[in-house]
Chain A
């Protein structure tokens, strides 16, 4: 069965420090992978997506993610975090005909230390 695992429930980093949020997936075929961000009281906003090709993808707000098929991972990174990056981050995988179904990980809450 398809699944998405985000092993870190809560991460705190200092402003200006680098960030890596982990995501592992279970899916038999080539996955479509996403990272979303959710600010408090808001819906989810798409940060970036991977369909095929270059395994390092760039997204909005200075985020990037790398797809590693051998590790079934799609980790999110940012070289230098800003206080405004404090939010909850969700990894997701799409499958089915026309990638019609997307399932989400349980999320990682990011706090920024001044």
Chain B
């Protein structure tokens, strides 16, 4: 089925380790987003991209980097994981015009110990 796929679904990291979360969409959407969800805080925007080769900072970008080398993929990197980055991460995508509703992935649960 068409949609947004996030890998991995679960991960446990040790403090200081690095990792990359992958988001892939097959809907030819121009815009892609990474959010983190923490209890009582809703979803907070980390970084987003309005097209291949472009990225921009959201509300909480510190400690994260992103890349959008291909239109269908949006990677979120943690260079040196910290316990404060324990969260559920969601990727989303949408078209540039028209329907502004997002399509969300099912999330990645990350625990940093």
Interface, chain A (partner B; CB < 8 A): 4, 6, 9, 32, 34, 36, 41-46, 49, 51, 90, 94, 98-107
Partner of B100, one of A41, A49, A106: A49
**How far apart are the CA atoms of A103 and B58 in the complex, in Å?**
9
- Flag B60-93 by CB within 8 Å of A: 1 or 0 each: 0000000000000000000000000000001010
**How far apart are the CA atoms of A98 and B97 in the complex, in Å?**
7
What are 18 pairs between A and B in contact, CB < 8 Å?
A: A9-B40, A41-B107, A43-B104, A43-B105, A43-B107, A44-B92, A44-B102, A45-B104, A46-B101, A46-B102, A90-B43, A100-B31, A101-B45, A102-B33, A102-B45, A102-B100, A104-B44, A105-B42
Interface, chain B (partner A; CB < 8 A): 4, 31, 33, 35, 40-45, 48, 50, 58-59, 90, 92, 96-97, 99-102, 104-107
**How far apart are the CA atoms of A75 and B97 in the complex, in Å?**
25
Q: Which of chain B's residues have a CB closer than 8 A to the CB of A101?
A: 45, 48, 58
Please name 4 further chain A to chain B contacts, defined as beta carbons within 8 Å, in addition to the given A49-B100, A103-B59, A105-B42, sorted by A numbering.
A36-B102, A43-B107, A101-B45, A106-B40
| Interface of B, helix, strand, loop or mixed by DSSP | loop
Q: Which of chain B's residues have a CB closer than 8 A to the CB of A98?
A: 50, 96-97
A100 touches B50 (CB 8 A): yes
Residue of B nearest to A46 (CB): B101
A43 touches B90 (CB 8 A): yes
With known contacts A43-B106, A100-B50, A103-B59, A51–B43 Cβ distance under 8 A: no
Q: A40 → chain B, closest Cβ, in Å?
A: 11
Max count, chain B CB within 10 A of own CB: residue among A34, A44, A49, A98:
A44
